[in-house]
Amino acid sequence: MKFEIMRHRLLDGLNDVMKAVSSKTTIPILTGIKLELTDEGLKLTGSDSDITIQTIIKAEEDGEQVIRVIEEGSIVVQARMFNEIIRKLPTSDVEIEVKENYHTHIRSGKSKFHLIGQEASEYPLLPEVLDDRQFVIPADLVKSIVRETVFAVATSESRPVLTGVLWQVKDGELTCVATDSHRLARRKISLEQALEGEYNVVIPGKSLNELSKIIGESSQPVNIAITNQQVLFKTEDVSLYSRLLEGNYPDTSRLIPTEYKTIVTMNGKALFQAIDRASLLAREERNNIVRLSSLEGNTVEISSSSPEIGEVEEEIQSTSIEGEEIKISFSAKYMMEALRALDGHDVIVQFTGAMRPFILNSVHDDTVLQLIVPVRTY
Amino acid sequence: MKFEIMRHRLLDGLNDVMKAVSSKTTIPILTGIKLELTDEGLKLTGSDSDITIQTIIKAEEDGEQVIRVIEEGSIVVQARMFNEIIRKLPTSDVEIEVKENYHTHIRSGKSKFHLIGQEASEYPLLPEVLDDRQFVIPADLVKSIVRETVFAVATSESRPVLTGVLWQVKDGELTCVATDSHRLARRKISLEQALEGEYNVVIPGKSLNELSKIIGESSQPVNIAITNQQVLFKTEDVSLYSRLLEGNYPDTSRLIPTEYKTIVTMNGKALFQAIDRASLLAREERNNIVRLSSLEGNTVEISSSSPEIGEVEEEIQSTSIEGEEIKISFSAKYMMEALRALDGHDVIVQFTGAMRPFILNSVHDDTVLQLIVPVRTY
């Protein structure tokens, strides 16, 4: 294998695949990345066996030569070291050549590196993904789904299936649900092309976070293919394979109340900031609980106290309060994360009493639902 | 105590004094900051008992009212909490009022905090500093001294006096020396006003780093006053008191060679970057050692190798090599820190053989000297 490549393009590719490489892997070859060179371009693969990311750097892009392919071939090189070397090389071009015994020479200006590589065929093969169970979502919408749901997954491994997000395809609609049993986040999307049949897969939260980092802000299509144990997200340049979580995801539909006794409409940003301030004192008590009370004249009071430190109270003018009076306590962290997922828009908060879960929606868009289970204090 | 203040000015002041507050203090009242309000303005004090920082926010600045003083007084409030509250308040003005039992009320817009404070007289008093042993250095020069020396102090506590920088005033000259016994950094400055007598004080490296953060980039004067156990750095708005380190600082003058066998002049930035790259491989071996060799034709080679990973070599064109051939090994980290302190200028590196300490100077300025003890490998 021998080629010359524009250094910044190689760095962009490495930047993507390095996200899948973990130093904690138990499979030694996965501390490396695989380089495969053909006339078409250079394919890079990185994996921690849960997530695999593959990217292709085309030899020619928009008529510009990115790679000068001298001899096709493949190699596995130590990922972190290779990435740091490429990052620190002195010139804008890099020459890479593999000689006998997988000795890999890297040249740039007057700097010469020589790394001991490994046989590419020893690198694990990618899972096969069939073409029949596929659908397409624009990249920016995928990023929204991730932002609106993943924060609500469980972080403890006591129920592993809750560390993932349920993606449910049914009747031309995708529903994504995450819950740690104290709060729940749900996003619904109408799919442009209807899929035959029904699919339920649970994708690890971590995989979705990495996905969100490697796909751009654009509306370019992301092709999503589901198999029994894997999901593949594929854009023009990058593919991310993730294993799926096993186990039955709980039925969450009954958690969501169907009727409400108090409905408050207010500015999401003002509510977020008031809770952020109130949580300064709540945090000291380690439970991070703040109180919300409806007052006269469409006023909402946010308060918190800590016997040793002091107390805080703040009034927010809401747009409207309908129904019964409400006094309720909840986790400031959960509320702030839910409001952040609703992106600062005006929100409708619907309560069914101080002991029942309450939900938040954006005024402008009911495809995103955030649910929070209150804390018993009143 | 009762006053209104522009929130961003209070934040600026807090930003300075918070640098001295440590959550690890064994003296409970030092988790607080002291606020003292007079007609003149608001004085803030923070301390971890090693370092004390005091700043004054004037009631009026350039004809603009910064503080509206309603009732003079003083209080100690929990530092981290107070700082975070002020940072997150909703409006640009803050009202602070102390009522009975040190209850401190903070109001901004519709947000009301109420903190339990402590009696200001319980806060430790500042050390007395006499006026006679004083000299003045511009702030930007103080920052240079810190940048050029502090990185070389010892981090281990096995010889506590080496965790500080020796400041020696003698015959109208200030000499600052730091060493961890593997390398040494020295900076000399001519003082504008000569001081009577001779002073030797060792200032903790940490205090100098904090000092560097709170004084601006400007050339405003920093007044430096020395007592037996304390040093005070004072600008118009901010004062930093630091305890001094006890113990005799070693005589380092004999460490510095007086004659040299090889003198290399080269670009400091090119040398830094070559060593940075070579250290990628050196780091894997945990000793972080790179080699420098003089070659024919004013060429310098930087190289390193790691049996399991690979090797690197790189040639740099020097301006000149005078004297004997040299092959020498040293810590990449020490060399990079020394070059960084010389700020990327062309450097003169002077060797006295592979086993003897070598020194680095800037071509343009010999007030800064960096010395490195080599490692035996050849």
pLDDT 10s digits, B183-193? 999 999 999 87
The three-point CA angle A183-A184-A189 to 5° equals 165
Shortest CB distance from A112 goes to which of B104, B111, B313?
B313
Kindly state whether B91 is in contact with chain A, defined as any CB-CB distance less than 8 angstroms.
no
pLDDT digits (tens, 9 = 90+) for A338-370: 999 998 789 999 999 999 999 999 998 889 999
- Residue in chain B nearest A302 by alpha carbon: B111
- How would you classify residue A279: left for phi > 0, otherwise alpha for psi between -120 and 50, otherwise beta? alpha
More confident residue, B120 or B376: B120
B76 and B32 in contact (C-beta within 8 Å)? yes
- Average pLDDT score over residue span B242-260: 93
Q: Give me the percent of chain B exceeding a pLDDT of 70.
A: 98
A308: which chain B residues are within 8 Å (Cβ-Cβ)?
A: 116
Residues of A in contact with B88 (CB under 8 A): 273, 276-277, 280
Q: What is the ipTM of this complex?
A: 0.88
Q: Which two tokens stand for residue A193?
A: 């092309």
Q: What fold does the segment set A2-122 form as a domain?
A: DNA Polymerase III; Chain A, domain 2 (3.10.150)
Residue of chain B minimizing CA distance to A109: B314
pLDDT on residue B285: 60
To test the contact with chain B by mutation, choose from A7, A80, A81, A103 the residue with the greatest count of B C-beta atoms within 10 A, namely A81
pLDDT tens, residue by residue, A253-276: 889 999 999 999 999 999 999 999
Which residues, at least 6 apart from A213, have a Cβ–Cβ distance to it below 8 Å?
Answer: A19
Cβ proximity of A33 and A42 under 8 Å: no
pLDDT at B251: 94
Does B297 lie at the interface with A, CB-CB under 8 angstroms?
no
User: Whole-angstrom Cα distance, residue B351 to residue B225?
Assistant: 39
pLDDT, tens digit, for every residue of B364-374?
888 999 999 99
Largest CA distance in chain B: 82
Calculate how close chain A gets to B130, using CA atoms only, in Å: 39
pLDDT (tens digit per residue) in B125-137: 988 877 778 899 9
* Dihedral of alpha carbons A138, A139, A140, A146, sign: positive
* Mean pLDDT value across chain B: 93
Sign for the CA dihedral angle at B37, B38, B44, B49 comes to negative
Reported confidence tier of residue B157, pLDDT bands at 50, 70, 90: confident
In this prediction, residue B152 carries a pLDDT of 98
Least confident segment among A9-23, A124-138, A206-220, B26-40: A124-138
Question: Can you give the pLDDT at residue A217?
Answer: 77
**Chains A–B, number of C-beta pairs less than 8 Å apart:** 80
Q: What is the pLDDT of residue B286?
A: 63
Extract the tokens encoding B374: 């080599």
Closest Cα partner for A13 from A109, A107, A82, A62?
A: A82
Smallest Cβ distance to A116: which of B81, B309, B312?
B309
| B301/A contact by beta carbon, under 8 A | no
pLDDT value, residue B198: 87
Give the pLDDT confidence score for residue A347 in this predicted structure: 97
Interface check A266 vs B, CB under 8 A: no
Nearest to B312 among A113, A276, A311 (CB): A113
Which residues from A are below 8 Å from B113, CB to CB? Answer: 277, 281, 310-312
pLDDT digits (tens, 9 = 90+) for A68-87: 999 999 999 999 999 999 99
Between A290 and B283, name the one with better pLDDT.
A290
Cα–Cα dist B146/B127, whole Å: 24
Query: Cβ–Cβ of B273/A88 closer than 8 Å?
Result: yes
Best CATH choice for the domain B256-372 from the list 3.40.630.10, 1.10.275.10, 3.30.70.250, 3.70.10.10 = 3.70.10.10
The Cα–Cα gap between B274 and A16 comes to: 27
pLDDT at B188: 96
Using a CB-CB cut-off of 8 Å, the residues of chain B touching A315 are: 110
Cβ <8 Å between B312 and A110: no
* Beta carbons of A310 and B104 less than 8 Å apart: yes
Domain B2-122 identical in fold to domain B134-253: yes
Q: Which of A31, A86, A88 to probe the B interface (max B CBs under 10 A)?
A: A88
Element (H, E) at A10: helix A7-17
Residue A273 is nearest to which of B90, B310, B312, comparing CB atoms?
A: B90
Residues of chain B found within 8 Å of residue A81, distances taken between Cβ atoms:
280-281, 284, 309
* pLDDT class of B343 with cuts at 50, 70, 90: confident
Q: What is the pLDDT of residue A130?
A: 73
pLDDT of residue A286: 63
Tell me if B277 and A85 make a contact (CB, 8 A cut-off): yes
Distance from CA of B357 to the nearest CA of A (A): 27
Query: What is the predicted pLDDT for the residue at B240?
Result: 97
B378, pLDDT greater than 60: no
- pLDDT confidence of A330, banded at 50, 70, 90? very high
A-chain residue closest to B102, CA distance: A310
Contact, A6 vs A68, CB < 8 A?
Answer: no
Q: φ, ψ for residue B312 (rounded to 5)?
A: -145, 140
Q: Which of A113, A273, A309 sits opposite B115 (nearest CB)?
A: A309
For residue B88, give the nearest of A113, A280, A284 by CB distance. Answer: A280
Is the domain defined by B134-253 classed in CATH 3.10.150.10? yes
How many Å apart are CA A78 and CA A117, to the nearest integer?
Answer: 7
> Which neighbouring-strand residues pair with A280?
none
**From the CA of A71, how many Å to the nearest CA of chain B?**
22
Q: What is the pLDDT of residue B151?
A: 98
Inform me whether the pLDDT recorded for A195 exceeds 80.
no
| B76 vs A: CB within 8 A | no
Q: Are A46 and A71 in contact (CB under 8 A)?
A: no
Residues of B in contact with A273 (CB under 8 A): 88, 90
CA angle B310–B313–B316, rounded 5-degree value = 160
Q: Which of B84, B310, B315 sits opposite A113 (nearest CB)?
A: B310
Q: Which residues in chain B have their CB less than 8 angstroms from residue A103's CB?
A: 310
**Any A CB within 8 A of B316 CB:** yes
Burial (CB count <10 Å: 0-12, 13-18, 19+), residue A366: exposed
Q: Is the model more confident about A75 or about A218?
A: A75
Residues B173-229 have pLDDT tens digits of 999 999 999 999 999 999 987 677 888 999 999 999 999 999 987 889 999 998 878
Confidence band (pLDDT; 50, 70, 90) for A315? very high
Helices (H), chain B: 7-17, 79-88, 139-149, 205-214, 268-284, 332-341
pLDDT band at B351; cut points 50, 70, 90? very high
Range from A65-69, A118-122, A154-158, B84-88 carrying the lowest mean pLDDT: A154-158
Round the average pLDDT of chain A to a whole number and report it: 93
The structure tokens listed for A40 are 């078409």
**pLDDT tens-digit map of A160-174:** 999 999 999 998 999
Residue A284 binned pLDDT confidence (cut-offs 50, 70, 90)? low
Instruction: Tell whether A114 is within 8 A of chain B (Cβ).
Output: yes
Cβ–Cβ contact B284 with A under 8 A: yes
Chain A residues near residue B285 by CB distance under 8 angstroms: none
Name the residue ranges covered by the structural domains of chain A: 2-122, 134-253, 256-372
pLDDT band at A378 (very low <50, low <70, confident <90, very high): low
- B21-50: per-residue pLDDT in tens? 998 888 999 999 999 999 999 999 999 999
For chain A, report the end-to-end CA distance as a whole number of angstroms: 71
**A32-37 and A41-47: which strand pairing?**
antiparallel
Contacts of B276 in chain A (CB under 8 A): 88
Q: Name which of B112, B280, B310 is nearest A88 (Cβ-Cβ).
A: B280
* Residue-wise pLDDT tens digits, A98-137: 999 999 999 999 999 999 999 999 999 988 877 778 899 9
Answer yes or no: do B112 and A313 touch at CB < 8 A. yes
Residue B375: the pLDDT is: 92
